[in-house]
Structure 1
Amino acid sequence: MTKEASKLVYLYLSLIFASVSSASASTVKCSFKQHGSGNTIQGMFVFGSSLVDNGNNNFLETESKADYLPYGIDFPNGTTGRFTNGKNVIDLLGDQLKLPFIPPFQDPSTKGSKIVHGVNHASGSTGILDDTGLVLGNATSLSQQVKDFEVVTLAELEAELGCNSSQSLPSYLIVVGVGGNDYMLNYFLRKLYLQISIETFTANLIDSLAQKLQELYILGGRKFVLTSLMPLGYSPVINRPNHIGTPSALNYAAQLYNAHLKTLLDSLKTHLSDFNFVLVDQYNIISNLTYSPPSTTGFKDIHNPCCTVSLSQGGIGISCDRGGKACDDRTAYMYFDGLHPTEAVNVQIATKAYASTQQDEAYPINVSQLAQLQI
């Protein structure tokens, strides 16, 4: 059976499962708690890497950690494991949706009533491919994140809400932010380009991601938010001594991945009529901020990290020095460390994701519109 045929079979089985789930969903109502947001979204379940991790790596044996200052220097609760100075995109989207902070899955206290507004499964340094997260230690792969969600989180959610996932998940956003590490920490760092073309590698990534999205759909997810890759070649780590790749090669990889991601999401929507999504185009958002005058954006430094970057902590010059210095005006910097944006940039991304009517920022609709859809 060809790969394309396998995809069609998988989609067909998904449709069958969806029809069965829909038939049973009408008999039981979930006991949702009202949170006064005025929309139909009860919470978010989050998957991905450090751009959306909110503390899972605190509990894992990995070099990829943000559980120390200056990370969290501007966060209301202090240092929590978020890879920025303040809030990440997930926190800010939650603010827009009037949701509480989403707890990290790996925290032992994330159980019971704490999960009714969602759980964050993301893990810093991980990727779509299982071996990507091994570069810096024991990150949770995307495959394992989905498995943890299915086996642990959904069982807890069913107990709390009194309904199964096909009945509850249409009322949640499924947020996926992943892929950059597969290039930076895998394809380029491991010099896989000597063995496989970037086009073939990207096609493999998209095939793997498609399978994960279909698994989440089968479980009951109907409202998906995915982020494109940022312009990886603009990251400050590229301007430091590094073994990752050239700016042009990294940006080409990101553009290639983003084009394939958009095609995949359109295809899923074509085959699964109740599959709804927003693609947040971080590439365009950050590119526009990079090339706009500082007088309009407020970003006076678009090249350098705000914190003193370590060449040992976290590896390859990405992470801040433990207990090191941070710039005084964090709103003037685009990047907090060698890779991750400042809260000020995250505000721009989250705001555009939630409300932009420009399809080169939020495609084909925005998160606010997605939240209002009746499923």
Structure 2
Amino acid sequence: MASQVINSRLLLLTIPILACVFLCSCYARATDKNGARIRGMFVFGSSLVDNGNNNFLKNSMAKADFLPYGIDFPYGPSGRFTNGKNVIDLLCDQLKLPLVPAFTDPSTKGTKIIHGVNYASGASGILDDTGLLAGNVISLNQQVRNFEEVTLPVLEAEMGFQRRELLPKYLFVVGTGGNDYSFNYFLRQSNANVSLEAFTANLTRKLSGQLQKLYSLGGRKFALMAVNPIGCSPMVMANRRTRNGCIEGLNKAAHLFNAHLKSLVDVSKEQMPGSNVIFVNSYKMIRDIIKNPVSRGFKDTNSACCEVMSLNEGGNGILCKKEGQACEDRNIHVFFDGLHPTEAVNIQIATKAYNSNLTSEVYPINVKQLSML
């Protein structure tokens, strides 16, 4: 009789264990089928990856919370510097993740952060003083502090796990550096005696330090976005007498920074053991479109799709006019405003970032392969 009671108790204990094993195995197969094991995404950088943080900043001139921005976005103008989705949104789609909320949005709290947070700020840079021309922006240093001091404690409380267990399941995306050239190195008189090589080396050191900081907090999967070909943007092309070719001096700076950025991938193996870092070469992807637009579905490679507020009108040659006109066929334009690509270009960048097998586009592996590690 006693043995029957024991066997019955063992059976009762075994059933939930087997059920757990079954459900866990089903979950594992589900994540494999979706091609993603990423729980969420933390995003740091500038306007190319900002999804509305500057909306909530006082005295910031770098905002995109008005039409025609968001003309093709499901929720209208949201602070994204394009007509529809940006690269981060499209990567979320690829990874089967919900859109990542903006850090400065007052509603970004509690369970809303469990799939990640976006800290990026338009006009910001790696250097603290890069965004001063645009008023109030959030530097990369402050973005990382916001992640560490505000988000992490709440995330641990919501998930019931320590950061060391949580963060390896998140993708950290960093897209910054272009503004440090366009609105700092090439504009400030204080940089007159600093060589491009020295300035770039300094930028890379500072960025490497921030990556190591995120690593020390528990981050293990990183995607570094290249600086785009800033010498081909309508902002700088509009000041040229001829539009034959891009301004190679600016592109040289971007190319040099990207070379350093790619080198961080190899260096990270020693500096950040157990981490996996990839380099997304959006510079090459956009340059390929500009060189051969028709074969990739584009026609206009050097003019803005929207009406841009010029310097004579009190603008900066970058942002669209509020409630201004936008071109009808936005899918054939490379640039939406004076600097930022259209959703059509973002789609190509995100798609290749996720599944391209060319190391010249994504090095050394793509986002899909990174998500499976």
TM-score using structure 1 length: 0.87
CA displacement, residues 108-140 of structure 1 (integer Å, 9 cap, x when unaligned): 000000000000000000000000011101100
Q: In structure 1, how many angstroms separate the alpha carbons of the residues matched to 2:300 and 2:272?
A: 44
Corresponding residue number in structure 1 for 2:98: 100
* Secondary structure of 2:179 counterpart: helix
In structure 2, distance between residues paired with 1:314 and 1:117: 40
Offset of residue 196 of structure 1: 0.8
The 10-residue stretch of structure 1 (198-207 or 310-319) with the greater mean CA deviation from structure 2: 310-319
- 1:274 CA drift (Å): 1.0
**2:229–2:283: 8 Å Cα contact kept in structure 1?**
yes
Could you list the per-position Cα deviations for residues 266-296 of structure 1 after superposition, in whole angstroms to 9, with x for gaps in the alignment? 11123433110121001111111111141x2
Q: Secondary structure in 1 aligned to 2:172?
A: strand
After superposition, residues 132-281 of structure 1 pair within 5 angstroms as 132-241=130-239, 247-281=247-281
Amino acid at match of 2:252: Y
TM-superposition CA deviations, 1:166-213 (whole Å, max 9, x none): 110000000000000000010112244412111111111001001100
* Aligned residue in 1 for 2:48: 51
**Does residue 1:322 correspond to 2:325, yes or no?**
no
Mapped contact 1:56–1:123 kept (Cα < 8 A): yes
**Structure 1 residue matching 2:171: 3-state secondary structure:** strand
CA distance in 2, matches of 1:191, 1:326: 36
Q: CA contact under 8 A between 1:64 and 1:314: conserved in structure 2?
A: no
Query: In structure 1, what is the equivalent of residue 333 of structure 2?
Result: 333
Cα distance change on mapping 1:316 and 1:190 into 2, 3 Å: farther
Q: TM-score, normalised by structure 2?
A: 0.87
Per-residue deviation, 1:38: 5.1
SS at match of 2:279: strand
For 2:85, the equivalent position in structure 1 comes to 87
* Aligned equivalent of 1:23: none
User: Hey, what's the Cα distance between the residues in 1 that align with 2:63 and 2:277?
Assistant: 30
Matches of 2:300 and 2:75 in 1, distance apart? 27
Structure 1 residues 157 and 222: CA distance shift in structure 2, 3 A: same
Contact 1:65/1:314 (CA < 8 Å) preserved in 2?
Answer: no
Following TM superposition, by how much is the alpha carbon of 1:45 offset from its aligned partner in structure 2, in angstroms?
Answer: 0.2
CA contact (8 A) 2:84 2:343 kept: yes
Cα distance between partner residues in 2 of 1:84 and 1:53 = 10
Q: Distance in 1 between matches of 2:81 and 2:147?
A: 22
Deviation at 1:316, TM superposition (A): 2.3
Paired residues of 2:101 and 2:116 also in contact (CA < 8 A): yes
Q: Is the 8 A contact 1:45 1:121 kept in 2?
A: yes
Matched, 1:368 2:368: yes
Aligned counterparts of 1:176 and 1:323: Cα–Cα separation in 2: 31
Structure with bigger gyration radius: 2
C-alpha contact (below 8 Å) 1:136/1:315 kept by paired residues: no
Structure 1: where are the runs of 5+ without partners?
A: 1-32
Query: For the Cα contact (< 8 Å) 1:86–1:343, is it kept in 2?
Result: yes
- Assess if the C-alpha contact under 8 Å between 2:128 and 2:139 holds in 1: yes
The residue aligned with 2:305 is: 306
What secondary structure, in the 3-state scheme, does the structure 2 residue paired with 1:262 have? helix
Q: Which residue of 1 aligns with 2:23?
A: none
307 and 205 in structure 1: CA distance in 2 versus 1, 3 angstrom threshold: same
Change (3 A) 1:234 1:266: same
Corresponding residue SS for 1:259: helix
Correspondent of 1:74 among 72, 75, 90: 72
The answer to whether the 8 A contact 1:49-1:122 is kept is: yes
How far apart, CA to CA, are the structure 1 residues paired with 2:228 and 2:212? 24
User: Which AA in structure 2 matches 1:299?
Assistant: F
User: What is the alpha-carbon distance in structure 2 between the residues aligned to residue 314 and residue 330 of structure 1?
Assistant: 26
* Corresponding residue pairs, total: 337
C-alpha distance in structure 1 between counterparts of 2:167 and 2:290, whole Å:
37
CA distance in 1 between partners of 2:104 and 2:273 (Å): 34
What is the alpha-carbon distance in structure 2 between the residues aligned to residue 69 and residue 96 of structure 1?
27
C-alpha distance in 2, partners of 1:77/1:248?
Answer: 38
Matched residues in 1 for 2:316 and 2:284: separation? 26
Aligned to 2:346: 346
Question: What's the secondary structure of 2:42's corresponding residue?
Answer: strand
